[in-house]
Structure 1
Amino acid sequence: MNKLTKKELALLLSFPLLLAACSGGAKQEAEKEADGAFKGAISKPLVTDIYTADPSAHVFNGKIYIYPSHDIDAGTPENDNGDHFDMKDYHILSMDSIGGAVTDHGVALDIKDIPWAGRQLWAPDAAFKDGTYFLYFPVKDKQDVFRIGVATSKSPTGPFKPEPKPIEGSYSIDPAVFTDTDGNSYMYFGGIWGGQLQRWKDGKYDANGSKTDLEDDKLPSLNAKIAKLSPNMKEFAEAPKDVVVVDKDGKPMLTGDHDRRFFEAAWVHKYNGKYYFSYSTGDTHFLAYGIGDSPYGPFTYQGAFMKPVVGWTTHHSIVEQNGKWLLFYHDTEVSGGKTHLRNVKVTELKHDANGKIEMIDPYSKK
Structure 2
Amino acid sequence: MKTQYKVLAAVLGLGASLVASYAVAASPLVSDRFNADPSPHVFDGQVYLYATNDQDNSGKYWDSTDWRLISSSDLEHWRDEGSFLSVSVFKWASTTAKAWAPDVSERNGSYYFYAPIGGDRIGVAVSKSPKGPFTDARGTPLIDKARDVNVGDEPIDPAVLIDDDGQAYLMFGTRVPKIVKLKPNMIEMDGPIQDVKINGLPEGEKKVGYGEAPYLNKFGGLYYFTFSTGWPGQIVYATSKSPTGPYDYRGVVLDYLKISTNHQAIIDFHGKTWLFYHDKRLPGGGDYKRSITYTPLTIRSDGTIDQVVP
TM range (shorter): 0.7 to 0.9
User: Percent identity at matched positions?
Assistant: 36
Deviation at 1:73, TM superposition (A): 5.0
- Structure 2, gaps ≥5 residues long: 1-23
Equivalent in the alignment of 1:54 = 37
**Given that residues 170 and 179 in structure 2 are in contact (C-alpha distance below 8 angstroms), is that contact kept between their aligned partners in structure 1?**
yes
**Alpha-carbon distance between aligned partners in 2 of 1:267 and 1:98, rounded to the nearest angstrom:** 21
**Alpha-carbon distance between aligned partners in 1 of 2:260 and 2:25, rounded to the nearest angstrom:** 17
Deviation at 1:283, TM superposition (A): 2.2
**Given that residues 310 and 337 in structure 1 are in contact (C-alpha distance below 8 angstroms), is that contact kept between their aligned partners in structure 2?**
no
Equivalent in the alignment of 1:44 = 28
**Alpha-carbon distance between aligned partners in 2 of 1:89 and 1:346, rounded to the nearest angstrom:** 22
Counterpart residue type for residue 159 of structure 1? P
| Secondary structure in 1 matching 2:88 | helix
**Given that residues 317 and 328 in structure 1 are in contact (C-alpha distance below 8 angstroms), is that contact kept between their aligned partners in structure 2?**
yes
Say whether 1:149 aligns with 2:123.
yes
Judging changes above 3 Å, is the alpha-carbon distance between structure 1 residues 302 and 320 closer, same or farther for their aligned structure 2 residues? same
Equivalent in the alignment of 1:97 = 74
Aligned-CA RMSD value: 2.0
1:179-212 Cα offsets, whole Å, 9 max, x none, are: 11111110000024xxxxxxxxxxxxxxxxxxxx
Equivalent in the alignment of 1:107 = 83
1:33-92 Cα offsets, whole Å, 9 max, x none, are: xxxxxxx983121100x211010111111211111111145437x4xxxxx100111111
1:326-337 equivalent positions in 2, closer than 5 A: 326-337=274-285
Q: Which structure 1 residue ranges, 4+ long, deviate > 3 Å from structure 2?
A: 72-76, 168-171, 256-259
**Alpha-carbon distance between aligned partners in 2 of 1:158 and 1:341, rounded to the nearest angstrom:** 25
**Given that residues 25 and 295 in structure 2 are in contact (C-alpha distance below 8 angstroms), is that contact kept between their aligned partners in structure 1?**
no
Q: TM-score, normalised by structure 2?
A: 0.84
> Which one is further off, 306-315 or 321-330?
306-315
Judging changes above 3 Å, is the alpha-carbon distance between structure 1 residues 42 and 312 closer, same or farther for their aligned structure 2 residues? farther
**Alpha-carbon distance between aligned partners in 2 of 1:337 and 1:131, rounded to the nearest angstrom:** 38
Equivalent in the alignment of 1:160 = 134
Judging changes above 3 Å, is the alpha-carbon distance between structure 1 residues 124 and 161 closer, same or farther for their aligned structure 2 residues? same
Counterpart residue type for residue 64 of structure 2? M
Equivalent in the alignment of 1:225 = 178
| Secondary structure in 2 matching 1:112 | helix
Alignment partner of 1:235 out of 178, 182, 188: 188
Q: TM-score, normalised by structure 1?
A: 0.71
Equivalent in the alignment of 2:3 = none
1:135-284 equivalent positions in 2, closer than 5 A: 135-140=113-118, 146-162=120-136, 163-168=138-143, 169=148, 172-192=155-175, 223-247=176-200, 259-284=207-232
Deviation at 1:105, TM superposition (A): 1.4
Deviation at 1:313, TM superposition (A): 1.7
- Structure 1, gaps ≥5 residues long: 1-39, 79-83, 193-222
**Alpha-carbon distance between aligned partners in 2 of 1:337 and 1:66, rounded to the nearest angstrom:** 20
**Alpha-carbon distance between aligned partners in 1 of 2:217 and 2:211, rounded to the nearest angstrom:** 18
Alignment partner of 1:354 out of 277, 302, 310: 302
**Given that residues 86 and 121 in structure 1 are in contact (C-alpha distance below 8 angstroms), is that contact kept between their aligned partners in structure 2?**
yes
Alignment partner of 2:237 out of 289, 307, 315: 289
Residue correspondences, number: 276
**Alpha-carbon distance between aligned partners in 2 of 1:284 and 1:225, rounded to the nearest angstrom:** 21
1:231-263 Cα offsets, whole Å, 9 max, x none, are: 10001101110011110xxxx677x88752110
**Given that residues 260 and 304 in structure 1 are in contact (C-alpha distance below 8 angstroms), is that contact kept between their aligned partners in structure 2?**
no
Equivalent in the alignment of 2:104 = 126
**Alpha-carbon distance between aligned partners in 2 of 1:283 and 1:346, rounded to the nearest angstrom:** 21
Structure with a larger share of its residues in strand: 2
1:51-90 equivalent positions in 2, closer than 5 A: 51-72=34-55, 74-75=57-58, 78=60, 84-90=61-67
